[in-house]
Amino acid sequence: MEASVEQLVYVREDAYTVARMSSESGAAGFVASGRALAGAQPGETLRLEGGWEEHATYGKRFAVTACERVVPSTVHAIQLYLGSGLIRGIGSRLAQAIVGHFGESTLTVIDTAPERLVEVINIGPARQAQIVEAWKEQKAVAALMVVLQGFGVSPLLAAKIFQVYGQASAEILASDPYQLIGRVRGIAFATADRIALRSGVPERSPQRIKAAVVDRLEAAAARDGHCFLPLPALIARTAERLELEEELVSRMVDALLAERRVVVEETDDDLVVYSKEHHSRELKLAAELARLFGARSTLPLRAFSDDPGLHEDQLAAVTMALTSTVSVLTGGPGCGKSHTVKVIASTVRAMGGAVTLCAPTGKAAKRLSELTGLPATTVHRMLAVQPDPDKLFDQTPAQADLIVVDEASMLDLHLATRLCSAIPAGSHLLLVGDSDQLPSIGPGSVLSDLLRVETIPRMRLTHVFRQAEGSGIVQAAHQIRAGAVPYTPGGGGFWFEELDDPSAVAARVVHLATEAIPAKQGVRPDQVQVLCPMRKGDAGTAEIGRLIQERLNPARDGTPEHWSGASVYRVGDRVMPIRNNYDKGVFNGEMGTVVALDMDERVVEVRIDEGDVVPYRFDELDDLTHAYAISVHRSQGSEYPFVVAPLVVEAGGVMLRRRLLYTLVTRAKAWVVLVGQREALELAVHRLGLRRNTGLTRRLALMLTS
């Protein structure tokens, strides 16, 4: 049958799609479902093959086994197609006007004589050009979907590929699909390799093997934070994945080395392989830190009068920061790091020096400002500020006498290199963080690496102050850090609720976050944050986030919504940028709320918390994620009044590590509630994380002793 898509009801990450359809024959609407519907958009006309089935919960539906996009032929279908928001620049009213003027010839006119569009009222040359360009894009994406389906690849990737490569997308797929790895979100080696092999690329081709080697390096950086891999391990892993002999892979590593795409170094243990980018950044960071450490201080140092309220470790930390151009302050919750920073910053200001306080995320910067009573900014914004050319002696924040970076465990190799490169010699750099928390999302382990360099001054605060001793969160955090399973203390703040079934865990987490805690504590649901160790599975961010969205912000008749892949955006949704965008002024980890959907212009408007309203085009939504449930990694640097988290041993519980649990618990200010299996809690406490492969400690130690 032929039918038009009225509304998408559900899209799963594996492309399984449920849609409400209206039949071209004029029959009553019906529901269709199946992976073959992947990529379908409201307004499209589809030729469906399949059969009727009775779903146990949702009733009668058409199970689609094959789907083909067809050009809508009736006036109603054409108007629905154009007015659906599928073509940027055409909304429902304009679609009605266009179809009213051209009738059943509308799509032929747009396709073959688009200059005639100006015959329609409210369409001038600029709008006509916009419609024509959007029409070309839509046709290209639709054709790309067909190509991907032929390769056995999800058509949901078509729009993402087109966003990167435009009209050259089909050519790239045919000539070198390995280019897509790392450039198109959602395409890793396995997907690109499937396309390449079905396109006729030989299994033993140098192109394929070199792409697999580079992918192993990039995957190790993205998944595990490694800056390098041992050469034998890299060769063995690649050969095993491709089912080829190691000698052939070894030759391709040599070829990559000759092409300067990788760097091979000899360490004390073995030969190791870096990507060119990670090698150059690690060298640069070590050199910049050595430059800062070896410079003569420009701080106008005067006698420091002891603060009687400081512990002796805090006093030592103040002296360290005032006398060392590079130093590290670390310690767990309740040990007074923020107060120590406040004293250090106030002392420098009293001496006449300039101070910049910053943190990797906006929430961390805001919290630092609240705790110290001093202004703070994000590292990204600090680095983006340029001197005013009309004021000769104006300085950027990175040129202060003292730069304090809080939550320094979040500094990855790239951001740390940019930061240190921007600081002039003589300024003091103080890195403050909890080395027991998770390392950065990006590659590297900067804070931990510096703590292993004997020459760099460091101070670990261990004294827990009385006001923090009664906190169940602080008690639980220190128990986890010591390798002990946390108990539920009488003072409150920490609670573990035992449940074995992962799906029951998810339902309980959703109930606590949306109903129980808000009702009992008298708070809004958006003051309760769900943090998940995993992204996939019944208790992962994707599924729990979807359940919370449906509870708090469900679909409503007559209210616009837009599906992007397996995510649907509605006004009121809580979202989070996952990429820095300097043009928009938004940065990874900030929170925001969807305040408008412009279906005509295909734009989602997001109000960033305590910031501006930022537009995201529909083809930019890969830069956003829903924030109803987020990963523990994405919560770094933030604190929430209430935290609820599932703990289950799904997929072997690969993410359950002591640092992850410690970071999760310390994100809460008032209460943290863990729901799940005791086995998962014990596994997280006792399983230590893998140490990242980095060379910063070795490089910096050599530079400082040479």
**Helices 337-350 and 312-323: angle between axes, nearest 10 degrees:** 50
Q: Which residue from 703, 704, 697 is spatially nearest to 268, judged by alpha carbons? A: 697
Please name the residue that has the structure tokens 């086994």.
Answer: 65
CA–CA gap between residue 469 and residue 481 (Å, rounded)? 15
- Whether 337 has a binding-site annotation, put simply, is yes
- Whether 336 has a binding-site annotation, put simply, is yes
* Single-letter residue type at 211: A
Residues near 706 by beta carbon (within 8 Å), at least 6 away in sequence: none
CA–CA gap between residue 342 and residue 252 (Å, rounded)? 54
Per DSSP, the residues of 447-502 read HHHHHT-TTS-EEEE-PPPHHHHT-HHHHHHHHHHTT-PPP--TTSSEEEEE---H
Residues near 633 by beta carbon (within 8 Å), at least 6 away in sequence: 438, 441
CA–CA gap between residue 96 and residue 393 (Å, rounded)? 60
**Helices 206-224 and 231-242: angle between axes, nearest 10 degrees:** 120
CB 513 within 8 A of CB 528: yes
- Whether 334 has a binding-site annotation, put simply, is yes
DSSP 516: I
Tokens standing for residue 259: 């092409």
CB 675 within 8 A of CB 494: no
Residues near 169 by beta carbon (within 8 Å), at least 6 away in sequence: 140, 144, 158, 161, 162
- Whether 567 has a binding-site annotation, put simply, is no
CB 585 within 8 A of CB 603: no
Please name the residue that has the structure tokens 């200059």.
Answer: 115
CA–CA gap between residue 688 and residue 706 (Å, rounded)? 34
Q: In a 3-state reduction of DSSP, which class is residue 261?
A: coil
Tokens standing for residue 536: 């996939």
Beta bridge partners of 358: 377, 405
Alpha helices in 554-677 (DSSP H): 658-665
CA–CA gap between residue 11 and residue 501 (Å, rounded)? 24
CA–CA gap between residue 404 and residue 345 (Å, rounded)? 8
- Whether 335 has a binding-site annotation, put simply, is yes
Tokens standing for residue 15: 């492309």
DSSP 637: T
Residues near 353 by beta carbon (within 8 Å), at least 6 away in sequence: 299, 300, 400, 401, 402
Please name the residue that has the structure tokens 């680095």.
Answer: 383
CA–CA gap between residue 72 and residue 79 (Å, rounded)? 9
Residues near 56 by beta carbon (within 8 Å), at least 6 away in sequence: none
Burial 333-360 (b: 16+ CB within 10 A, else e): bbbbbebbbbbbbebbeebebebbbbbb
Q: Which strand (E) or helix (H) includes residue 551?
A: helix 541-552
CA–CA gap between residue 702 and residue 696 (Å, rounded)? 10
- Alpha-carbon distances of 20 from 62, 66, 557, 688, rounded to whole Å: 10, 17, 13, 48
Tokens standing for residue 503: 């799906």
CA–CA gap between residue 542 and residue 536 (Å, rounded)? 6
Q: In a 3-state reduction of DSSP, which class is residue 572?
A: coil
Beta bridge partners of 631: 532
CB 530 within 8 A of CB 544: yes
Count of positions (residues) in the chain: 706
Detail the residues annotated as belonging to a binding site for ATP.
334-338
Instruction: Summarize the annotated binding site as residue ranges.
Output: 334-338
